[in-house]
Amino acid sequence: MTVLKQSNLHTSQKKGVYEHPYYKSIIRRSLNYLSAGYPVHYTGPSGVGKTTLAIHVAKLIKRPVTLITGNKDLTNEDLIGAYRGYSRKKLNDNFIKTVRKIEENVTEDWVEGHLYEAVKNGHTVVYDEFTRSSPDTNNLFLSVLEERVLPLYGSKTKDSHLRVHPDFRMVFTSNTAEYIGVYDTQDALMDRMISIPLNFISMDAEIAVVMERTGVDRDKAEAVVRFIRNVNQSESGKGQDLSVRSSIMIADIAEKTGVPIEGKNESFQNLCMDITYFSLLSSTNDEKEARNRIIEQCKKI
């Protein structure tokens, strides 16, 4: 589990990108739902920008942000907290020379879990890829979202639950359910959040993301994004679609290593090949055909 506080979140100000109408509408709706007390859930394929958007929206709420990353080993103990280790206090009272008094006190140390801390202090929690955690662990969120209490199961504390701070908010993200390593989401949890699909990022928004992340100008960003989209289309939907991450990698490496973004340039062709080859191969199963298709799409730039 990763937990970041507001001051540690190194996402740059993505104002430019999020000024785009595609994002503006999603952000406005999300903030409305969150201010009304409803959790928001961004779902979509890998690399579509769910985590970045979730963190951006969470930061706009102007409360400390806690980032929890879902995984199969995440436990209630990680979320709630637990007694871990002991503190030992020893008092050696030798005030009267002939009398020696020793007092020993051993107490268990309570370590707050990250959800406990967020619930207590009214943080905004981004629960990234929550479907990767086991449904048993995610059950904890049912009462947090519905009854506004965090049950302190098996934590040996004297309290049975902790009341949720009125400013506490949650933003969830998940990959679409067919992804490997993902559990079927419990209907009950899905029922308590507003799910916004992030499947169809517009070409303009994607170009803006590449410009933002790499600093290349619009023409270059557009050329790279168009190339990746064409490669995806030539896969006829059979392979794993390349995401904006591939566009960012190509533009970023080209910029940093002085490779011109020109389809006929051999170094650029090699770069495109290295970044897209395996995705294309998974759909064609033919090495030569995969290479030819990449070069063909490259030359169209």
Looking at residues 200 to 229 of the shown chain, list those that interact with ligand ATP (rule: CB under 6 A).
Answer: 209, 212-213
Q: Helix or strand or coil: residue 183?
A: coil
Give yes or no for residue 125 binding ligand ATP (CB under 6 A). Answer: no
Give yes or no for residue 171 binding ligand ATP (CB under 6 A). Answer: no
Q: Which amino acid is at 220?
A: K
Q: How far apart are CA 105 and CA 89, in angstroms?
A: 5
CB of 18 to ligand ATP, least distance (A): 6
CB of 215 to ligand ATP, least distance (A): 12
Tokens of 264: 């006929």
Tokens of 213: 């992340």
Binding residue for ligand ATP, selected from 244, 250, 261, 301, defined by CB under 6 A = 244
Matching residue, tokens 């995401």: 243
Q: Which run of H or E residues covers position 180? A: none
Give yes or no for residue 49 binding ligand ATP (CB under 6 A). Answer: yes
CB of 283 to ligand ATP, least distance (A): 19
Vertex 205 angle, CA 201 and 210, to 5°: 110
Give yes or no for residue 48 binding ligand ATP (CB under 6 A). Answer: yes
Binding residue for ligand ATP, selected from 124, 137, 138, 175, defined by CB under 6 A = 175
Give yes or no for residue 250 binding ligand ATP (CB under 6 A). Answer: no
Q: Helix or strand or coil: residue 116?
A: helix
Rg (CA), the chain: 25
- Is there a contact between 259 and 193 (Cβ–Cβ < 8 Å)? no
Q: How far apart are CA 161 and CA 265, in angstroms?
A: 64
CB of 232 to ligand ATP, least distance (A): 15
Closest CB to ligand ATP among residues 43, 155: 43
Give yes or no for residue 70 binding ligand ATP (CB under 6 A). Answer: no
Span from 41-49, 112-120, 143-151, 291-299 in contact with ligand ATP (CB under 6 A) = 41-49
- Is there a contact between 47 and 210 (Cβ–Cβ < 8 Å)? no
Q: What residues make contact with ligand ATP under the rule CB under 6 A?
A: 14, 17-18, 46-52, 173, 175, 209, 212-213, 244-245, 248
